[in-house]
Amino acid sequence: MNDNRKIKEIPNENRPYEKCLKLGAQALTDEELLAVLLRSGSSGSSSLELAGEVLHLSRDKEGLPGLNQLSLQQLKSIRGIGTVKAIQLKCIGELSKRIAVSVAEKGVSFDHPASIANFYMEQLRHQEQELLLCMMLDCKNHRLGEEIVFKGTVNMSLVNPREIFLAALSYHAVGILLVHNHPSGDPSPSQADIKITKRVQSAGAMLGIPLLDHIIIGDCRYISFREQGLLE
């Protein structure tokens, strides 16, 4: 809702609280939902106006997806949003991610790349740096656990297969999956991604802990090395 009027100037039936009572939360726009959670505005700005500023603050992603990328300091740069409101907004973003992960976990099948990508999508697609996760599996492809084995720009010289397989051995894994994100949103594998995957695959073959797949997460998109025929 791009409405510069104060809340009291908006007809009762169109105010966020009243609209929610009458039509349900699903009838509210993103801006109205945030306005309800912000509860109050500031001198010169209504809660709706503050919500609109928040939704347009992220340079990379406007709207609710951008909320997860905003820091506390960025949120506090908006006049009328102090530490308390900024923390509330960050917690809303984190809560939404955890709900999405919880829902995805119930239907995840670690035999299917699309299911795995869906499971990790909300956790990874908002990250501003690359994270490389190793998922450990048992003989029935049940998840034993996962560990972040690298943070930063993924390249050949920095990612050490030794660290990956030390983690795998600690879980007594019989197979592993690699999952990492591309902050650009494009999941297309780079040459470095391909080289790393080959190194890990070779090491896994020698240790008897095969690399079952490497999945790259983009923005609501993914690439599976297994599906693309990039695993030997």
* Domain end call among 52, 78, 101: 101
Q: Return the percent helix, strand and coil in the chain, to nearest 5.
A: 45, 15, 40
Domain count, the chain: 2
Confidence grade of residue 13 (pLDDT, cut at 50, 70, 90): low
Higher pLDDT pick, 2 / 46: 46
The C-alpha atoms of residue 181 and residue 218 are separated, in whole angstroms, by 6
The C-alpha atoms of residue 88 and residue 81 are separated, in whole angstroms, by 10
In degrees and rounded to multiples of 5, residue 94 shows phi and psi of: -65, -40
Specify which of 34-38, 110-114, 177-181, 192-196 reaches the highest per-range mean pLDDT: 177-181
- Assess whether pLDDT exceeds 80 at residue 2: no
Q: Which two tokens stand for residue 112?
A: 């299917």
Full domain range(s) for residue 128: 109-224
Say whether both 93 and 21 belong to one domain: yes
Specify which of 12-21, 33-42, 143-152, 188-197 reaches the highest per-range mean pLDDT: 188-197
Q: What is the mean pLDDT of the chain?
A: 83
The C-alpha atoms of residue 31 and residue 187 are separated, in whole angstroms, by 30
Q: What is the pLDDT of residue 228?
A: 94
Q: What is the pLDDT of residue 3?
A: 46
- Assess whether pLDDT exceeds 90 at residue 205: yes
Q: Check if the beta carbon of residue 177 is closer than 8 Å to that of residue 116.
A: yes
The predicted-structure confidence for 59-80, as pLDDT tens digits, reads as follows: 666 677 777 778 888 888 888 8
Q: Domain of 114: which CATH number?
A: 3.40.140.10
Helix (H, G, I), strand (E, B) or coil at 115: helix
Say whether both 97 and 177 belong to one domain: no
Who contacts 50 (Cβ-Cβ below 8 Å, separation ≥6)?
34, 35, 38, 41, 42, 78, 80, 81
Domain membership flag for residue 1: no
Say whether both 97 and 154 belong to one domain: no
Say whether both 132 and 203 belong to one domain: yes
**Cα Rg of the chain (Å, integer):** 22
Angle, nearest 10°, between helix axes 16-23 and 30-38? 110
The predicted-structure confidence for 145-203, as pLDDT tens digits, reads as follows: 889 988 876 554 578 899 899 999 999 999 999 999 999 899 999 998 999 999 999 99
Domain membership flag for residue 143: yes
Higher pLDDT pick, 52 / 189: 189
Question: Measuring CA to CA, which residue among 191, 184, 189 is closest to residue 214?
Answer: 189
Domain membership flag for residue 147: yes
Higher pLDDT pick, 211 / 111: 211
Q: Check if the beta carbon of residue 201 is closer than 8 Å to that of residue 231.
A: yes
The C-alpha atoms of residue 15 and residue 78 are separated, in whole angstroms, by 22
